[in-house]
Amino acid sequence: ISELLEQLFHSESDVEENVSAGGVRRVGDNYCMSADVSQFEPHDIVVLSYNHQVVIHAQKVLDDGTVSDTFTHKSLFPEDMDPLSVSGTLSPEGTLVVSVSGSTELEHSSVPTYRSEAYL
């Protein structure tokens, strides 16, 4: 994951700034975004993809069923994203990097209709 972070960002300050900003970056043929989810366990994190958006949602549920902490981050990806290629990598430090392949063929549809969901 450190190699991917190095490709995404050029310096240590870029990593810190963009991890908090969660901006979409192009790396080769892929689009990537990142988020600091270090306060959550992997089973608390869900990555959703729909209508050119990728959503990272995490919530910490206590033993009694109450939610003690939540996090949601949405990013709009370019129209040439391949919605079936969404993948995520969680670093030991708690940085989640979500990458999506750019599609080589653009399908011209007025309303994209897809949704995918991944649990870590």
Per residue in 105-120, pLDDT (tens digit) is: 655 555 556 666 767 7
Whole-prediction pTM: 0.68
Domain boundaries, the chain: 2-97
Q: Which fold has domain 2-97?
A: Immunoglobulin-like (2.60.40)
**Dihedral pair phi/psi, residue 18, rounded to 5°:** -80, -25
Average pLDDT over all residues of the chain:
79
Query: Measuring CA to CA, which residue among 74, 28, 30, 66 is closest to residue 49?
Result: 74
